[in-house]
């Protein structure tokens, strides 16, 4: 203990020890002491020396400290000292605080030392697993040093430590549990730890997200006051950005979890926007970045669209637009809000329509688009703000033909209103102002109103401008070309390269894919002279871009020229290039465009950005146009008129062939549909036929049962009539109830007639059933014939498919021949052409043969349809007849039941009469005699009935 007192500050008894010796003795004490108190004091002493002697403590004591963590985990105090010591030797907080006073080499050495000690610690993965397990200890003196140590390790060696934590059982879950700690200092440091843990590791990001990180982080943001909160809110937002950026799975989980809706309260605008603190500005900036991450153009189109819909439906877009129109908003927040709104509405028709309906709170109210464009063409506004407005306007017009039409319509004479400021007026004003950045922004914005919209390109040709009083108006196209061709005016206006680049971007976007616009441009002879003059001159480095754009514009005039102007046909423009410029020189100047640094930066992202206003030269959509047209223009310049003519002929031939093939494909598709329909009908008829077979069998069985019942009933009736006849004669002989017996005889005769009619009807029904069976057999034969026809149709369809394959192969051979003809000498072209002609002739003959086969197929299909229709009608007749037979059988059963009841009544009456006769003392014969007598009476009565 005396030794420890000396180390901790007591008076040394002997000579002064060096730091390394002291640390060595402390390490020995940690390793050899059996008492926990002695080891704890030694570890505490190492902690106090760890900042000053990082190297000595790290190299000598690290193993002993790890052993303490393994063996003394039950004592939280010694564990806390050990974790603090490891943290001190790995991190270089002390050196960072003295960074301003120390030399660069010392700082580098400190960094290298921390990295080396980190490597030594993580060399054994069990060490990291041990520290993670200690984090489950709730004691503050253990958990907080453990959090700081893991964070320091991640800062030094992020990738390896992430890999160890990822494979460690419950490693990420233990770290996520730290967010639920009630002690704010641990929770806040856990946020910093998770930021380092999730950096650049998609797998860990997904695990953290599915550990309910979004819910916890959003709760913390709300508890801390959202945008009005402190640094903790910023840390939560940074962690959310780390989880969502470039991680489509987490973005989809965030959207489906309805967390987008919880972002809306962040952007609520108060009436008093004064007093924006620096932390609030930072928080709101991070929140806007989080919104942009969800709708970034680098995401998949489906994910962007779904997030845009969610932001519109929950009211988030409305809140962002309210910030745009609010007063007192800091410039950087306003700029970032404009960029955020740009990406929320980009490509979404509903969001774009809503943005078009937003009005600024001015008197009179003005559309938000107009207010923003006023800022864009105002040279006194900040550069980044003007770029943001341009991005917003581009996003509003992106894939929005309705918005493009509305913007162009504000430039047409019939829609201009002198009392209001329109978007078209502001764009024209910026296009011809004295500020070069305004020229460029207005030109690029106007080009987006024409993007992929040939109709608006033609409409813009109608725009007329009044340049000065007393002079006739000129077209917008003519005014743009005038400014380009009059170089002295450009110098006086102070707009050199940037203005001309903007105008050339507008003209290239305008006349591309629009032959009418090309004709209008070439109608002014000075335009061609200016372009050829610019391209042929040997100017400085700054003018190379202008020369390249002039070459592109002239190439577009060749590609989309309809040869309506005799002096400026395709061939004459090519001859002009060859004579005045040279083809190789022309192509070289054209290649200058894609070699510019600004071109590469603009092609990388849709948002227009640049370090200074002078660097704004290219637009993202224009780089796509250059990439598309560069090769096309080069080929057009090198092609001769003969090659173009042959290519046009071959192209027309191929188009005709394609149209024929399209017709055949449509016909075959129709035949396939008919065949499938016939198959379905055959299957339906087969099922109906089977059902009819079962029904007919049931009907036959029922009829047989009715016949049996009828035979039994007939026998009973005959027996009952005989009994009734005998009793009647006896009653007549005795003078009792003669009239009643006569009536009974009449009823018996009527019953006999009905029985005869029933037998006749049964015979008719048997005939009908026989007829139905024969018709069913014919139907089955027809169906079998239809099946054979369908087989023939299927075989013919396979032949047609084979022919289509051969046609495709022939077309591919034609393409190969065309490529060979373009690369070969002129003498090799004609044989290839003759081969192609022979192939086309053979193909035409084959097509005629296919027409005949298809016609025969159609006739067979029509016959099959008629047979199916006949079968359907037969089935309908069978169904109707079966229903009628069923009704008649039901009625017959009812009549037979009534007859049985009547016979029972008569039998009862006869019995009653006999009993009465017996009671009167009249002699009554036996029943057998009465039966024979009744039979005789019946025979006597029959002639009388006749």
Q: What is the mean pLDDT of residues 580-605?
A: 91
- Greatest mean pLDDT among 98-112, 436-450, 798-812, 832-846 lies in 436-450
Which residues, 6 or more positions from 591, have their beta carbon under 8 angstroms from its beta carbon?
Answer: 548, 630
Of 66-80, 503-517, 535-549, the least confident: 535-549
Q: What is the mean pLDDT of residues 644-671?
A: 74
Candidates 854, 855, 856; CA nearest to 668 is 854
**Which pairs count as long-range contacts for 809-818, CB under 8 Å and 24+ apart, including other chains?**
810/839, 810/843, 811/654, 811/657, 811/661, 813/839, 814/650, 814/654, 814/839, 818/647, 818/650
Confidence of residue 333 (pLDDT cuts 50, 70, 90): very high
Residue 940 in 3-state DSSP? Answer: helix
Distance, in Å, from the CA atom of 589 to the CA atom of 505, rounded to the nearest integer, reads 16
Helices marked H in 295-330 — which ranges?
Answer: 301-313, 316-325
In percent, how much of the chain has pLDDT > 70? 70
Distance, in Å, from the CA atom of 595 to the CA atom of 642, rounded to the nearest integer, reads 33
Helices marked H in 377-524 — which ranges?
Answer: 383-397, 401-409, 423-431, 436-448, 454-460, 476-485, 487-492, 497-511, 515-523
Preceding peptide of 364 cis, ω within 30°: yes
Distance, in Å, from the CA atom of 282 to the CA atom of 235, rounded to the nearest integer, reads 11
Answer whether residue 909 shows pLDDT above 50: yes
Of 23-37, 217-231, 235-249, 801-815, the least confident: 801-815
Question: What is the C-alpha radius of gyration for the chain, rounded to an integer number of angstroms?
Answer: 50
Which residue has better confidence, 548 or 662? 548
Candidates 448, 441, 319; CA nearest to 381 is 441
Report yes or no: 208 and 243 within 8 Å, Cβ to Cβ.
yes
Q: Within 10 A of 277 (CB to CB), how many other CB atoms are there?
A: 11
Tokens found for residue 38: 């002695």
User: Which residues lie across from 367 on neighbouring strands?
Assistant: 359
Residue 366 in 3-state DSSP? Answer: strand
Tokens found for residue 122: 């993580």
Region for residue 926 given its phi and psi (left: phi exceeds 0; alpha: psi -120 to 50; beta: otherwise): beta
Of 138-142, 209-213, 642-646, the least confident: 642-646
Which residues, 6 or more positions from 178, have their beta carbon under 8 angstroms from its beta carbon?
Answer: 135, 143, 147, 186, 187, 190, 193
Given this model, what pLDDT does residue 651 score? 64
Given this model, what pLDDT does residue 272 score? 60
Q: At 465, phi and psi to the nearest 5?
A: -120, 140
Question: How big, in percent rounded to 5, are the helix, strand and coil portions of the chain?
Answer: 80, 0, 20
In this structure, is the dihedral angle defined by the CA atoms of residues 368, 370, 373 and 379, taken in order, positive or negative?
Answer: negative
Helices marked H in 181-247 — which ranges?
Answer: 184-197, 202-210, 213-223, 231-244
Which residue has better confidence, 665 or 193? 193
Distance, in Å, from the CA atom of 937 to the CA atom of 940, rounded to the nearest integer, reads 5
Computed over every residue of the chain, the mean pLDDT equals 80
CA dihedral 117, 120, 124, 130 (to 10 degrees): -20
Of 393-397, 645-649, 823-827, the least confident: 823-827
Per-residue DSSP letter, 847 = H
Given this model, what pLDDT does residue 731 score? 43
Distance, in Å, from the CA atom of 317 to the CA atom of 513, rounded to the nearest integer, reads 35
Q: HSE, CB side, 13 Å, CA atoms: give it for residue 356.
A: 19
Q: What is the mean pLDDT of residues 748-757?
A: 65
Given this model, what pLDDT does residue 891 score? 72
Answer whether residue 263 shows pLDDT above 50: yes
CA angle (875 as vertex; 869, 877 as ends), nearest 5: 105
Element (H, E) at 359: strand 359-360
Answer whether residue 453 shows pLDDT above 50: yes
Candidates 256, 258, 262, 257; CA nearest to 236 is 262
Which residue has better confidence, 899 or 631? 631
Distance, in Å, from the CA atom of 327 to the CA atom of 324, rounded to the nearest integer, reads 8
Which residue has better confidence, 935 or 595? 595
Q: What is the mean pLDDT of residues 48-77?
A: 89
Q: What is the mean pLDDT of residues 894-914?
A: 71
Answer whether residue 96 shows pLDDT above 70: no
Given this model, what pLDDT does residue 488 score? 38
Given this model, what pLDDT does residue 763 score? 66
Residue 360 in 3-state DSSP? Answer: strand
Q: Within 10 A of 579 (CB to CB), how many other CB atoms are there?
A: 9
Given this model, what pLDDT does residue 129 score? 92
User: Which residues lie across from 359 on neighbouring strands?
Assistant: 367
Given this model, what pLDDT does residue 681 score? 82
Residue 328 in 3-state DSSP? Answer: coil
Given this model, what pLDDT does residue 940 score? 46
Candidates 50, 48, 31; CA nearest to 39 is 31
Which residue has better confidence, 655 or 16? 655
Burial class (CB in 10 A: 0-12, 13-18, 19+), 359: middle
Q: What is the mean pLDDT of residues 247-272?
A: 89
Of 92-101, 362-371, 625-634, 795-804, the least confident: 92-101
Tokens found for residue 640: 């001769």
Which residues, 6 or more positions from 788, have their beta carbon under 8 angstroms from its beta carbon?
Answer: none
Q: Return the residue matching tokens 């962690």.
A: 239
Distance, in Å, from the CA atom of 849 to the CA atom of 843, rounded to the nearest integer, reads 10
Q: What is the mean pLDDT of residues 932-943?
A: 45
Answer whether residue 807 shows pLDDT above 70: no
pLDDT tens, 135-167?
998 999 999 999 999 999 999 989 999 999 999
Confidence of residue 32 (pLDDT cuts 50, 70, 90): confident
Q: What is the mean pLDDT of residues 800-814?
A: 56
Confidence of residue 832 (pLDDT cuts 50, 70, 90): very low
Distance, in Å, from the CA atom of 629 to the CA atom of 624, rounded to the nearest integer, reads 9
Given this model, what pLDDT does residue 773 score? 58
**Which pairs count as long-range contacts for 41-45, CB under 8 Å and 24+ apart, including other chains?**
41/1, 41/4, 42/4, 43/68, 43/78, 43/81, 43/82, 43/85, 44/81, 45/4, 45/7, 45/8
Given this model, what pLDDT does residue 934 score? 44
Given this model, what pLDDT does residue 709 score? 77
pLDDT tens, 535-545?
988 776 668 89
Q: Within 10 A of 459 (CB to CB), how many other CB atoms are there?
A: 18
Q: What is the mean pLDDT of residues 425-454?
A: 94
In percent, how much of the chain has pLDDT > 90? 43
Of 45-54, 272-281, 354-363, 594-603, the least confident: 272-281
Confidence of residue 207 (pLDDT cuts 50, 70, 90): very high
Given this model, what pLDDT does residue 776 score? 54
């Amino acid at each position: 203990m005396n030794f420890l007192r000396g180390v901790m500050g007591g008076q040394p008894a002997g000579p002064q020890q060096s730091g390394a010796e002291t640390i060595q003795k402390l390490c020995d004490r940690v390793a050899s002491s059996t008492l926990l108190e002695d080891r704890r004091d030694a570890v505490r002493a190492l902690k106090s020396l760890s900042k000053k002697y990082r190297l000595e403590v790290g190299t000598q004591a690290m193993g002993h400290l790890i052993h303490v963590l393994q063996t003394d985990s039950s004592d939280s105090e010694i564990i806390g000292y050990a974790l603090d010591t490891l943290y001190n030797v790995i991190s270089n907080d002390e050196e960072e605080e003295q960074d301003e006073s120390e030399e660069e080499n010392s700082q580098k050495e400190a960094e290298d030392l921390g990295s080396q000690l980190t490597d030594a610690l993580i060399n054994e993965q069990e060490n990291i697993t041990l520290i993670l397990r200690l984090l489950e200890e709730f004691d503050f003196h253990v958990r907080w040093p453990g959090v700081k140590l893991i964070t320091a390790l991640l800062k030094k060696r992020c990738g390896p430590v992430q890999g160890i934590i990822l494979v460690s059982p419950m490693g990420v879950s233990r770290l996520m549990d730290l967010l639920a700690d009630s002690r704010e200092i641990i929770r806040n440091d856990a946020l910093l730890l998770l930021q380092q843990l999730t950096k650049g590791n998609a797998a860990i990001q997904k695990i953290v997200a599915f550990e309910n990180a979004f819910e916890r982080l959003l709760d913390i943001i709300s508890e801390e006051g959202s945008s009005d909160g402190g640094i903790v809110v910023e840390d939560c937002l940074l962690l959310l950005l780390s989880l969502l950026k470039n991680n489509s799975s987490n973005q989809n989980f965030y959207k489906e979890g309805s967390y987008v809706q919880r972002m809306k309260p962040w952007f609520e605008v108060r009436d008093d926007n004064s007093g924006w603190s620096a932390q609030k500005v930072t928080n709101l900036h991070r929140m806007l970045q989080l919104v942009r991450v969800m709708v970034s153009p680098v995401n998949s189109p489906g994910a962007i669209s779904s997030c845009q819909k969610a932001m519109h439906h929950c009211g988030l877009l409305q809140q962002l637009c309210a910030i745009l129109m609010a007063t007192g908003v800091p410039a950087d927040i306003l700029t970032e809000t404009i960029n955020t709104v740009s990406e929320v509405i980009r490509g979404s028709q509903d969001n774009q329509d809503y943005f078009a309906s937003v009005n600024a709170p001015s008197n009179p109210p003005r559309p938000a688009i107009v207010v923003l464009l006023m800022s864009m063409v105002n040279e006194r506004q900040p550069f980044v703000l003007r770029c943001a407005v341009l991005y917003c306007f581009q996003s509003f017009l992106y894939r929005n033909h309705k918005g493009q039409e509305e913007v162009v319509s504000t430039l047409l004479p019939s829609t201009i209103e002198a009392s209001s400021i329109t978007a078209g007026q502001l764009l024209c004003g910026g296009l011809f102002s004295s500020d070069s950045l305004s020229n460029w922004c207005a030109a690029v914005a106007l080009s987006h109103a024409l993007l992929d919209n040939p109709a608006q390109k033609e409409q813009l040709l109608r725009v007329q401008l009044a340049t000065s009083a007393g002079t006739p108006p000129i077209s917008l196209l003519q005014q743009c070309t005038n400014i380009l061709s009059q170089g002295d005016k450009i110098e006086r206006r102070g707009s050199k390269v940037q203005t001309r680049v903007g105008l050339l971007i507008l003209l290239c976007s305008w006349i591309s894919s629009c032959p009418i616009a090309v004709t209008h441009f070439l109608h002014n002879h000075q335009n061609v002279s200016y372009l050829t003059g610019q391209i042929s001159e040997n100017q400085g480095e700054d003018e190379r871009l202008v020369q390249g754009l002039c070459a592109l514009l002239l190439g577009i005039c060749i590609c989309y020229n309809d040869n309506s102007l005799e002096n400026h046909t395709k061939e004459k423009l090519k001859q002009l290039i060859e004579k005045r410029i040279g083809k190789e020189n022309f192509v070289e100047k054209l290649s200058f465009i894609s070699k510019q640094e600004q071109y590469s930066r603009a092609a990388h992202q849709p948002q227009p950005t640049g370090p200074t206003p002078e660097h704004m030269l290219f637009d993202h959509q224009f780089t796509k146009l250059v990439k598309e047209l560069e090769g096309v223009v080069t080929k057009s310049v090198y092609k001769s008129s003969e090659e173009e003519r042959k290519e046009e002929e071959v192209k027309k031939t191929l188009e005709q062939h394609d149209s024929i093939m399209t017709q055949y494909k449509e016909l075959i598709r129709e035949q396939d549909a008919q065949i499938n329909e016939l198959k379905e009908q055959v299957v339906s008829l087969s099922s109906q036929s089977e059902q009819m077979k079962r029904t007919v069998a049931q009907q036959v069985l029922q009829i047989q049962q009715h016949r049996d019942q009828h035979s039994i009933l007939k026998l009973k009736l005959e027996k009952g009539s005989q009994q009734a006849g005998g009793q009647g004669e006896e009653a007549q002989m005795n003078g009792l109830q003669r009239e009643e017996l006569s009536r009974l005889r009449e009823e018996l005769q009527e019953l006999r007639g009905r029985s005869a009619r029933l037998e006749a009807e049964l015979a008719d029904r048997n005939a009908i059933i026989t007829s139905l069976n024969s018709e069913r057999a014919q139907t089955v034969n027809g169906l079998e014939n239809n099946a054979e026809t369908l087989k023939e149709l299927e075989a013919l369809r396979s032949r047609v498919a084979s022919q289509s394959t051969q046609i495709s192969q022939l077309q591919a051979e034609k393409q190969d021949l065309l490529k060979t003809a373009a690369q070969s000498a002129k003498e090799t072209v004609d044989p290839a052409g003759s081969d192609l002609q022979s192939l086309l002739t053979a193909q035409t003959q084959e097509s005629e043969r296919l027409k005949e086969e298809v016609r025969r197929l159609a006739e067979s299909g029509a016959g099959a349809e008629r047979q199916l229709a006949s079968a359907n009608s037969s089935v309908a007749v069978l169904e109707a007849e079966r229903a009628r037979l069923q009704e008649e059988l039901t009625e017959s059963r009812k009549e037979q039941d009534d007859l049985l009841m009547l016979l029972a009544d008569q039998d009862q009456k006869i019995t009653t009469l006999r009993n009465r006769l017996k009671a009167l003392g009249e002699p009554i014969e036996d029943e057998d005699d009465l039966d024979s007598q009744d039979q005789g009476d019946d025979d006597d009565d029959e002639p009388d009935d006749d």
